[in-house]
Amino acid sequence: MATRDDATSSYAWPERFWVRANLVATNSGATAGPSGTSIDLTNREDRDLLRLIRQHCDALIVGASSIRAEGWHLPPHGHTHVVSRGSPLPWNSCPDASRVTEWQGQANETLPVLVTRVVGHLAATGSMSILCEGGIATVRALAKARLLDELCLTVRGASRADVERALQGILPDPTGWSLASLTESDGGSTIFSIWRCVTGVHS
């Protein structure tokens, strides 16, 4: 990957309301490995990038299934908002429940409608830098609701074509997205990319 200064510049949060997702995937778009979690797909550089991105987020959005599968990973400063439509959360393992809000879906409420409620609350209460770390259903819901500005996508592959295949496996309509940055690492076997929505978001 590029130097830390380059990465800090590329992944800096804009000074406006911004909703960003961060995912690591295979070239087929799978975001979990044999263990059922993303840990099988990550390496040191991925984890360094994740820490860089989440360091200054005001709020973290994450699906309840991700919490149940991967455990709690609260950001350094921001509040965590968990979108939940199923089984109870593992509150007994949460390191600081005062920094977590659970948003339970209402009767007949789709996931895009639920995440719209969450993002609307964050916008109304002054949050600016919103990070979603998955799962993939939550990222898709944000995109479908036209609330996602940016997708930071790390792909295990060897070409831009691999990245584009992964994007197509993640987003419901990848045609509205433009590549803003692409950096290779590990001799080209890992690609860090930034995709931005060009069709108008938050509308």
Question: Which residues touch 202 (CB under 8 Å, ≥6 apart)?
Answer: 17, 19, 146, 147, 149
Q: What's the CATH number where 51 sits?
A: 3.40.430.10
Tokens at residue 26, please?
């295979």
Q: What is the DSSP letter of 171?
A: -
Kindly tell me if the per-residue pLDDT of 203 is higher than 50: no
Has residue 203 been placed in a domain? no
Has residue 202 been placed in a domain? no
Report the number of distinct structural domains present in the chain: 1
More confident site: 148 or 46? 148
Has residue 101 been placed in a domain? yes
Q: What percent of the chain has pLDDT over 70?
A: 83
Has residue 34 been placed in a domain? no
Has residue 145 been placed in a domain? yes
Mean pLDDT of 4-12: 75
Mean pLDDT of 89-94: 96
Name the residue range of residue 16's domain.
4-29+39-197
β-bridge mates for residue 181, sequence order = 194
Kindly tell me if the per-residue pLDDT of 170 is higher than 80: yes
Has residue 84 been placed in a domain? yes
C-alpha pair distances (Å), 96 with each of 86, 99, 119, 122 = 22, 6, 22, 20
Band of pLDDT at residue 124, cut at 50, 70 and 90: very high
- The tens digit of pLDDT for each residue in 12-68 reads 999 999 999 999 887 665 655 444 545 555 666 767 787 889 999 999 999 999 999
Band of pLDDT at residue 5, cut at 50, 70 and 90: low
